[in-house]
Amino acid sequence: MDQGTGKWLQWRHGGVTATEIAKAVGGGQGWLSVRNDKLSPMPADTGQPFTLGRGGDSAMQLGHILEPIARAAYERAHGVSLEPACIESLTHPHRRASLDGLSSCGMHAVEIKCGASMVRSWRDKRLVQSSIRRQMQYQLALLGLDSLTLVLYHAMPTESGELQQVIRMMDYCGIRQPDWQGGPYFVEIERDPVVSEHLLGQADRLWDEISRIKLGAQPTLFDF
Alpha helices per DSSP H over 106-192: 116-125, 130-143, 160-173
* Number of Cβ atoms within 10 Å of the Cβ of 187: 16
CA distances from 211 to 66, 151, 176 (A): 37, 35, 45
- Summarised one tens digit per residue, pLDDT across range 135-166 is 999 999 999 999 999 999 999 999 999 999 99
Give residue 64's pLDDT. Answer: 95
Give residue 53's pLDDT. Answer: 79
CA distances from 42 to 8, 121, 195, 204 (A): 11, 36, 31, 21
Give residue 216's pLDDT. Answer: 79
Among 76-85, 118-127, 132-141, 206-215, where is mean pLDDT lowest? 206-215
Domains and CATH numbers, the chain: 5-223 (3.90.320.10)
- Summarised one tens digit per residue, pLDDT across range 43-95 is 665 555 567 878 778 999 999 999 999 999 999 999 999 999 999 999 999 99
Q: What are the residues whose beta carbons fall under 8 Å from the beta carbon of 91, sequence distance 6 or more?
A: none
- pTM over 0.85? The answer is yes
Give residue 2's pLDDT. Answer: 43
Q: Which residue has the higher pLDDT, 27 or 175?
A: 175
Give residue 54's pLDDT. Answer: 82
Among 38-42, 112-116, 191-195, where is mean pLDDT lowest? 38-42
Which SS3 state, helix, strand or coil, does residue 82 take?
A: coil
- Percent of the chain having pLDDT more than 70? 88
Give residue 222's pLDDT. Answer: 52
